[in-house]
Amino acid sequence: MKITNVFGYQVLDSRGKPTVAASISLEDGTSHSARVPSGASTGKHEAKELRDHQSHLAEQYYGGNSVYLAIENINSKIAPEIVGLQSDLESVDQRIIDLDPSPDHSLLGANATLAVSLAAAMASAHAKKVSLARSFQPDGNLLLPMPMVNILSGGAHANRTLDIQDVLAIPVGAQSFTEALSWIVAIREAAASMGREAGKITHLVADEGGLGIPFDSMEDACIFVMDAIESVGLNVGIDVALALDVAATQFFENGLYHLRTEGESYSAEDFVDYLNGLVSNLPIISIEDPFAEDDWKSWAAFTSIAPKDLQILGDDLLTTSASRLKTAISERAANAILIKANQNGLVSATHQVLKSAQSQNFATVVSARSGETEDSWLADLATGWRAGQIKVGSTHGSERNAKWNRLLELEATEQTEFSRPF
């Protein structure tokens, strides 16, 4: 089925920040739209989104964050090249690469390229008369991902109430996605009640829906979440385990890791030992970005001594990049990768990074961003790609629940099984 029209336009993400949307129309008269997310905590090696800033198109009310340049690139450069093509994702993505061969999509803007790529993926699924998830896996049980869910948030997402970005819960003992999500909702609400009863600040909800409650240390924050798990009758480490998103690049400066809430600064070597002690003594099964995005030596040192079953997850380190994944494999610097489509800029290239990681026995976690939209395509990608895990944020905010609800829908309407990677 041929593409008859492509149109880009500006919308807002969950933080009220402009982002790019694109719509692709097909010859059967249908239209397929997608909106792209953006991050607050971004790695310097990510694909480059295009914003107006000082350009003649900058909109004063958005402080230069409008995206009219990216939209202009869709409407004047990308659209003429793909109108008339068959609604095939690979063909559309290849034409975009021909227009912008830069590895970071800096010529057209990764927000422009991804919006069109996502719309093409949805149009392609429609042409095949299947869901987006099924378009990537036509046969067999779809694999619903294990959720990693924010309970506490800090860092760039919550006004630095914690030095680290998130303490998350993983419902490792759940037998279905429905059961897993019900456990998480109970834990999150228990944590909010416990915070209020203790007189802590709980009115601050972070960008991704986690609770912005201050703690003096990472250990104290973890113990609080463990207490919340036990308060709803679940067993810590058996039913529900912990994960950390450290986002260490944010507090790495001049060769030191500065934990301001703890009043301590660590050398790289000492921080390796500090985190190893933390994950060895608490029921933490996954740790994301424990070191800065270019501190390869610390990543490798930590991976060599950390508990063998610990998931060591690269986000800022790997930025959904095939070349950085290759380096991590050769350096033995991690064993898992966070997959974010807007770090890459194209759906097909993002999928290829995920497949490459899985071929090297890396765990894969498809992830949302702090600035999200009401779209639910992320849930379909995680499922259709058999990622095994998904990280959306918390269970507050319709931009988060749109993804959870789509996974519930897939479980109810498709032939599925539930991933239990731990």
**Annotated catalytic residue, options 72, 208, 372, 399:** 208
**Sign (positive/negative) of CA torsion 142, 340, 10, 91?**
negative
Single-letter amino acid code for the residue at 325: L
- Do residues 80 and 8 make contact, with C-beta atoms less than 8 angstroms apart? no
Q: Determine the Cα–Cα distance for residues 118 and 6; give it in Å rounded to an integer.
A: 12
Q: Which residues does residue 264 pair with via DSSP β-bridges, in sequence order?
A: 259
| Beta-strand runs (E) in 122-248 | 142-144, 146-153, 166-170, 241-245
Nearest-Å Rg of the Cα atoms of the chain is 21
Structure tokens at 339: 């997959």
Structure tokens at 93: 């993505």
Q: Are 230 and 236 in contact (CB under 8 A)?
A: yes
Catalytic residue selected from 46, 288, 293, 340: 340
Contact 414, 407 (CB under 8 A): no
DSSP-assigned beta bridge partners for residue 257: 252, 266
The residue to which tokens 């703690």 are assigned = 215
Burial class of 173 by CB neighbour count within 10 A (0 to 12, 13 to 18, 19+): middle
Burial 351-362 (b: 16+ CB within 10 A, else e): bebbebbbeeeb
Task: Let me know if 340 is a catalytic residue.
Answer: yes
Is 128 a residue of the active site?
no
User: What length is written for the chain?
Assistant: 422
Catalytic residue numbers? 208, 340
